[in-house]
Amino acid sequence: MRTTSGRRVGAACVLALLAAAAGAQADPSVAVSRAEGRLLHRRVPDVPLHLADGRTVPLSSLWQDKPLLVTFFYRNCHGICSPFLAWIRNAVREDDGLGRNYRILALSFGEQDTVADMRSQGEALGIDDPDWLFAIADREALARVIEALEFWYRPDPATGQYDHTALLVAVEDGRVKRALVGGAGFAERFPVMARELRGEFIRSYAVPAQTAWRCFSFDPVTGRVSVDWGLLILQTAWRCFSFDPVTGRVSVDWGLLILGLPTLTAMTVTFGIFRRGPRRR
């Protein structure tokens, strides 16, 4: 029994490995960090937005007919906001998908920002496109979106500025389809995000050293897939019985001990409680 099941598991693993290796060479791939992975398929709350052109619209109206790219900024930022928005502008121009494959929302999280500030931001970046929207939201509505997308920021009283991260989220039908958190690798990863919004299948893999017990590892440089510790542990460490084909003996293995110890402990404690019985006064 052990030998037959082991062969079946081994054959299945080999087939999975070959399929993964073939797919890795055929399809584009993108690394996903833990922070980005948590956001995937997250539902984005529908809140009212106040746009730069004076309209107030529900957020859901922006993703009804095409995917929506969402990023955060504030008008008086002396740090990453303007350079990051300019980078998105340049990447979008190179991709040439704005309006056809997606629209963009730059949502301010600055408490003092106004609709007029949104118009000024667009003018400063040279952006005049109906599918690139600048907006503010009421504090409660903004807090709901920020919480859902795990956007981190913190006011700095000494400078009057905010410490915050860079975030670009692709939303389709109200759920997160892809997220880029931080700043590293944006130039290489945005084209992959744009391709996914055009309907292409994009293979995802974990950022190296961020997943401890995975079964397979993917090298984006070489395109190779290799067996990792997780599969070896599943195959060897957690079996309940071991069979020695030479002696024909079957012995208890670690898996049964690990499964059985908590049960045995609970039974021992329960037996001890009942054996003691009620206390006599």
Q: Pairing between strand 241-243 and 250-252? A: antiparallel
**What tokens appear for 120 in the block?**
């000024």
Smallest CA-to-CA distance from 175 within 141, 149, 194, 153 is with 149
What's at 32, amino acid-wise?
Answer: V
- Dihedral over Cα of 159, 78, 132, 71: its sign: negative
Pairing mode, if any, of strands 216-219 and 224-227? antiparallel
- Rounded CA gap, 60 and 62, in Å? 5
Which residue bears the tokens 């892809």? 178
Q: Cα–Cα distance between 189 and 211 in angstroms, integer? A: 20
Distance, CA of 136 to CA of 52 (rounded, Å): 8
Per-residue pLDDT, 93: 94
- Any idea what DSSP says for residue 57? E
**pLDDT, tens digit, for every residue of 70-119?**
999 999 999 999 999 999 999 999 999 999 999 999 999 999 999 999 99
The pTM for the full model equals 0.66
**Residue-averaged pLDDT of the chain:** 80
* pLDDT-derived band at 148, boundaries 50, 70, 90: very high
> Cα 218 to chain center, whole Å?
17
159, 161, 165, 170: CA torsion to nearest 10: -170
Are 136 and 236 contacting, i.e. CB atoms less than 8 angstroms apart? no
What pLDDT does 276 receive?
Answer: 61
Confidence at residue 127, expressed as pLDDT on a 0 to 100 scale:
96
56 vs 34, which has greater pLDDT?
Answer: 56
Beta strand ranges found along the chain (DSSP E): 29-32, 48-51, 56-58, 68-73, 103-108, 132-136, 153-156, 161-164, 167-172, 175-181, 203-206, 216-219, 224-227, 241-243, 250-252
The per-residue pLDDT for 35 is 83
The three-state secondary structure class of 254 is helix
